[in-house]
Structure 1
């Protein structure tokens, strides 16, 4: 019995690792929900969870929240056996608990973001920060604090929910625990029925706004382009929306821009030069 039990534990751990979730602490086949630390996460964080039934029909599930990884696991001849009602209830309860925790963290981060924004100093000229000078863009309403530029990000109700910080070298970070998916930073005032651009980086958005005189919604990265595009279409259903993507060597920017445009029936623009974004093009004297 002991050997069989240990075999189940070892196989479960091995399959977790194969899926990209390496857990070194002891695992238990006691049919209870366990939160665990996953190798590579920040120390002290338990972003993994699992349930393991180590009975005559070994089965369970494991998930790693940052990866959005969720795997239903069965061993041997139990492959066709459905999950028990108790296990399904545990999984659902855990999902709802995580949602509550995430919502609470987002609310706390939004409050922190609003406090920081209210106490940050306005930036009036390009010469006030090295990043603005290097990118050759005007500040367009952003602020500064502790040597970094501060870019506000809003949700679809136009409420400030997060901040992006950009230091002198161009390193960027958001407030931990805050919302980003579907959130955007506007440059100019979007109007329904008019042309509206969506891009990745803030400096790219500033360059496009200055060059074309149209409103821009900054998505922060390629992975958020489609979500911001969907928000833009809901807020401005009659607008001509254009996704101004990056020409990444990896192809990620181009693919994301095309996908976002397709999702809303819009258009997309990609710089001709590989490795360039629209800030690079405009700063070099090129046209959009």
Structure 2
């Protein structure tokens, strides 16, 4: 597990207090375990505002339900509504939140002059998605946390990254800012790229895609997809290793479907109780035996 780094580095302080600064400070304020720790939104906002900057937070990984950046001092919050808000991979869309002054005086004129408007059907789909976001996200988060805890300490893994795990570098900050850990887990497999590709190629039901928050559990290899344009030094600085795999966990069909999707049929399960009960066992993914805890319904 990587050591906790300062939430605000000396370089950040210098950049925000120098003679010439960018008028906007953009943060990935929610936790993308594949590339960055959570950022102290309140601390950065205080520092940025002293320098006269506007704080923009990309909150897509947390969604509006798990984290509210405006309450921590951010000025603008953006979302890719294509992710959790739609939740079924049906359309493209985005959301921008801010003060009434910003919306009326800045955003609306920009939209009027440039035309980035949603189609009526896409707007309708996203509104319908909001109706079930709370229920879907709760299931996603519960399932992701169970899978993350079950994978901790496995001999084939260098690391398991999930915001609410006790040994996550910024766990205290994550719990302060977020109501739950979200639906994203990252695992770092021993053996580098070859090992991660064997894992991905052996997946059952889980699709290989760099999307997230869909109605299907998804997996991606950040080094060769989402972060492939970065230099080797930039990847290393963000913790993007050859063995890193990002998992977007979904539990709309129940935990057994996730277990099958990730680990296949080669499984040994010891049932502790009948009905809704915890079941522990070993699930073999080819030559990869992985422990998991599931909720078994009988």
TM bin, normalised by shorter chain, reads under 0.3
Larger Rg: 1
TM-score (norm 1): 0.23
Instruction: Between the two structures, name the one with larger relative contact order (CA 8 Å, sep ≥ 6).
Output: 2
TM-score (norm 2): 0.22
